[in-house]
Structure 1
Amino acid sequence: MMDIAVIGSNMVDLISYITDMPKIGETREAPDFEIGCGGKGANQAVAAAKLGADVMMVSKVGDDLFAGNTVDNLRRCGVDTRYVERISGVSSGVAPIFVDRDSHNRILIIKGANNYLMPADIDRAAEQLKTCRLFILQLEIPLPTVYHAIDFARRHHVPVMLNPAPASRELDMRYACQCDFFMPNETELEILTGMPADSEEHILQAGRTLLSQGLKNLIITLGHRGSVWMTGDSVHRVAPVAVNAVDTSGAGDAFIGSFARYYVADGDVRRAMTYASAYAAYSVRGKGTQRSYPDASQFQDFLATLTQE
């Protein structure tokens, strides 16, 4: 039996560290550049696997020079890659990321091979997927594949966590309401509801709008402001862990992957959120996405420093 199946995307992160974004027609020098392994699905899978969960991934890579490194990296991080398949004649997904002096990021994605992850790929992995205790989904793959995964999970009584990122108003909320957890950040919350999310009052109002459509558990990640778990009749807040942020890229994925690992362990949502908040905080202290995620031993050492403060 597997703990977690991530059905979703992988990307190659092309990270430029900048002082200011250039204006139209302007050329600027940037102080640093890195290439890393990313993508929301792969990030979440790696976070959970580094913390000791048994994780499989259903995903697609292209036939370019990035593909082999992506698959090898997933394996090194402990992710089962038997259903990560190459697509001939297609590029791998890439994500140009721009990180400014305040550690804020702007991200573009070119889905590439991720656009070729089809419902049939879920069916091919069916026997393994049936054994999983949790599915994690995002929106960097075709929506019909997301919907098929949700239908599959419901038929086989597997809980589903849906991260609606990148947010799309085309998302059919009837499918979202079949998921056990719906986990946007505040920007995605704004896009999905058309409502502001610039204060706690507005965030709760927007959250209630989503819950009124039939969502079971809504967890909103708020960056340096922590996170909030909303149900039809309750609101629970989890405080952030204060650190000196260097790069916030992938912090939301770190939260989701680590939340999944701790949630499948004992079903305690608030405990999982508390650990996830600390794990995301650890990740923003270093550059990049997956490379900034600690393994279980490193994370335990970090938690020990927090209890000493």
Structure 2
Amino acid sequence: MAAADVVVVGSCMTDLVSLTTRLPKAGETIHGHKFFTGFGGKGANQCVQAARLGAKTSMICKVGKDSFGYDYIENLKKNGIPTDFVGQAENVATGAASIIVDNEGQNFIVIVAGANLLMDSEDLRRAAHVICQAKVMVCQLEVTPAVSLEALKLAHKSGVKTLFNPAPALADLDPQFYIHSNIICCNESEAEILTGITVCNVKDAGRAGLVLLERGCKTAVVTLGLEGCIMVSAKEPIPKHVPVKKVTAVDTTMYIKQYKK
């Protein structure tokens, strides 16, 4: 297949979403008012968004040989994403996420990675030529960390710009992740897990960003929800705050346009 501008090595998740007036407490059963399924997974979300913004993309992932897996492949095709490197694993379910969203747009999410955890070095080798010819390679931690690190190394060695989203974050993340990441982008809680710095404001985020920079990445971005984000880089080591316009959150899991009409 032709070279892609953006290659994503990562997860595909079928989202099972329940909308409720409020989030349940521990052990509590409450009534919801709407249920739907959707296509998610941090990796696939990033790939679809890049494709919708006009980039030529490629997705390297693994789903199950089940209805969710076949549906996911069709969804990628509908979004103009080649499926040459979408593997299908035997006897294991496609990754799934159970999501509860309340009227304030807050959510609880539980993921079961399933087939995502079966992606391996062989999958990367089959897609090596696409990874090494990309302009940007993106990965996360919803697949086996060793696979994400191998993908980062492969891309970085070939001069491809690497963007690492350390989510879900790991406190004992291999130091090589930082060295092979041109850009690390994480939210407040992920930054705290990675650095040990509690991120409650812009100043805290700047401190955490500097720690990430010290560990070897070229640029660190810490997202702050309503407060925007901070950016810090080797070339501009003074943390820069990028604010955003305040909006009323309807659904922080990004379903507002597609499902909540």
Name the TM-score, length of structure 1 as normaliser.
0.79
Q: How does 1:80-119 map to 2 (within 5 A)?
A: 80-119=82-121
* 1:129 match: 131
Following the alignment from structure 1 to structure 2, what is the Cα–Cα distance between the partners of residues 58 and 129? 9
After the TM superposition, which segments of 4 or more aligned residues of structure 1 sit over 6 Å from their partners? none
* 2:253 match: 249
* 2:29 match: 27
Following the alignment from structure 1 to structure 2, what is the Cα–Cα distance between the partners of residues 192 and 130? 28
* 2:239 match: 235
Q: Secondary structure at the match of 2:82?
A: strand
**Pairwise CA distance, 1:118:** 0.6
Following the alignment from structure 2 to structure 1, what is the Cα–Cα distance between the partners of residues 27 and 44? 35
Following the alignment from structure 2 to structure 1, what is the Cα–Cα distance between the partners of residues 147 and 257? 33
Q: List runs of 5+ in structure 1 lacking aligned partners.
A: 251-283, 293-309
Which gives a bigger RCO, structure 1 or 2 (Cα 8 Å, sep 6+)? Answer: 1
Q: Secondary structure at the match of 2:189?
A: helix
Return the letter of the residue paired with 2:115: A
Equivalent residue in structure 2 for 1:211, among 202, 213, 228: 213
Q: Secondary structure at the match of 1:244?
A: coil
Following the alignment from structure 2 to structure 1, what is the Cα–Cα distance between the partners of residues 27 and 143? 33
* 1:270 match: none
1:166 corresponds to 2:168: yes
Equivalent residue in structure 2 for 1:49, among 37, 48, 51: 51
Tell whether the 8 Å contact from 1:243 to 1:285 is kept in structure 2 after alignment.
no
Tell whether the 8 Å contact from 2:11 to 2:62 is kept in structure 1 after alignment.
yes
1:286 corresponds to 2:257: yes
Q: Secondary structure at the match of 1:187?
A: helix
* 1:144 match: 146
Return the letter of the residue paired with 1:62: G
**Pairwise CA distance, 1:157:** 1.4
Specify whether residues 151 and 116 from structure 1 end up closer, same or farther in structure 2 by C-alpha distance, changes over 3 A only: same
Return the letter of the residue paired with 1:286: K
Higher strand share: 2
* 1:279 match: none
Name the TM-score, length of structure 2 as normaliser.
0.93
Return the letter of the residue paired with 1:243: V
How many residues align? The count is 257
Q: Secondary structure at the match of 1:184?
A: strand
Q: Secondary structure at the match of 2:99?
A: strand
**Pairwise CA distance, 1:24:** 4.1
Return the letter of the residue paired with 2:163: M
Tell whether the 8 Å contact from 1:244 to 1:285 is kept in structure 2 after alignment.
no
Following the alignment from structure 2 to structure 1, what is the Cα–Cα distance between the partners of residues 215 and 130? 32
**Pairwise CA distance, 1:222:** 1.4
Return the letter of the residue paired with 2:242: V
CA RMSD in angstroms, aligned pairs only: 1.8
Tell whether the 8 Å contact from 1:13 to 1:97 is kept in structure 2 after alignment.
yes
Q: Secondary structure at the match of 1:145?
A: helix
Return the letter of the residue paired with 2:247: V
Q: Deviations over 1:39-82 (max 9, x none)?
A: 00000000000111000010000011101111111111111111
**Pairwise CA distance, 1:184:** 0.4
